[in-house]
């Protein structure tokens, strides 16, 4: 994982709770986010995540799915049942499109692969804080390639983005090729 620190002015002054049971991963993600958030609180399990969010709700939660005791998805469901509306972005090594779909259906607003963390995580958090949903482009591409039926018909531009992703181009390269912003490539509007 690249530990370059990304700064996103839209997140300044905001707070995040980061839940991951692997301390080195959590500290690496904290380093990625430190210039973008005023407050970052680290927790290592689902129960502690619930306690922390109940005590002082953040602007966003970034959580691993697999944690000891209670999973990130289960913790999110408990909080939602209690009326908590803090948006969740799952950051995970699990790259199954069905798991991403389950997380989004359960109420998550974002799903990012740890292998794509860094600038993509910042893009995902920014999109979620703007009221959008974000799924790593590689997960979306897998869903399409493996026959998942989308709920909408992709636009020509979205299909071009997927075509470039399938060729292995990165978001910046695709943005340049299509004359779009990197943010638009990472979070294109639904068709």
Q: Which domains does the chain have, with CATH numbers?
A: 11-136 (3.40.50.2300), 152-186 (no CATH)
* The predicted structure's pLDDT at residue 11: 57
Q: Residue 166's pLDDT is what?
A: 67
- Kindly list the averaged pLDDT for each block of 10 residues, start to end, along the chain of length 191: 43 85 91 91 96 96 93 95 95 88 92 83 92 85 58 68 73 83 66 44
Task: Extract long-range pairs of 113-118: CB within 8 Å, 24+ residues apart.
Answer: 113/138, 113/139, 114/1, 114/25, 115/1, 117/1, 117/29, 117/32, 117/91, 118/1, 118/2, 118/4, 118/6, 118/32
**C-alpha dist (Å) from residue 74 to 29, 47, 64, 93:** 22, 10, 11, 17
């Amino acid at each position: 994982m690249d530990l370059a620190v990304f700064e996103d002015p839209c997140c300044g002054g905001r707070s995040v709770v980061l839940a991951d049971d692997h301390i080195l991963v959590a500290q690496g993600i904290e380093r990625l986010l430190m210039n973008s958030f005023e407050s970052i609180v680290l927790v290592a399990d689902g129960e502690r995540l619930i306690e922390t969010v109940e005590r002082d709700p953040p602007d966003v939660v970034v959580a691993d799915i697999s944690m000891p005791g209670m999973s990130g998805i289960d913790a999110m469901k408990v909080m939602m049942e209690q009326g908590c509306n803090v948006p969740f972005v799952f950051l995970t090594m699990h790259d199954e499109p069905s798991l991403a779909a389950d997380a989004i259906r359960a109420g998550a607003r974002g799903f990012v692969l740890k292998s794509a963390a860094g600038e993509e995580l910042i893009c995902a958090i920014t999109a979620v804080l703007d009221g959008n949903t974000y799924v790593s482009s590689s997960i979306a591409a897998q869903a399409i390639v493996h026959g998942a039926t989308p709920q909408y018909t992709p636009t020509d531009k979205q299909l071009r983005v997927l075509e470039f992703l399938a060729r292995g181009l990165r978001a910046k390269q695709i943005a340049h090729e299509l004359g779009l912003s990197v943010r638009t490539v990472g979070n294109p509007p639904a068709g």
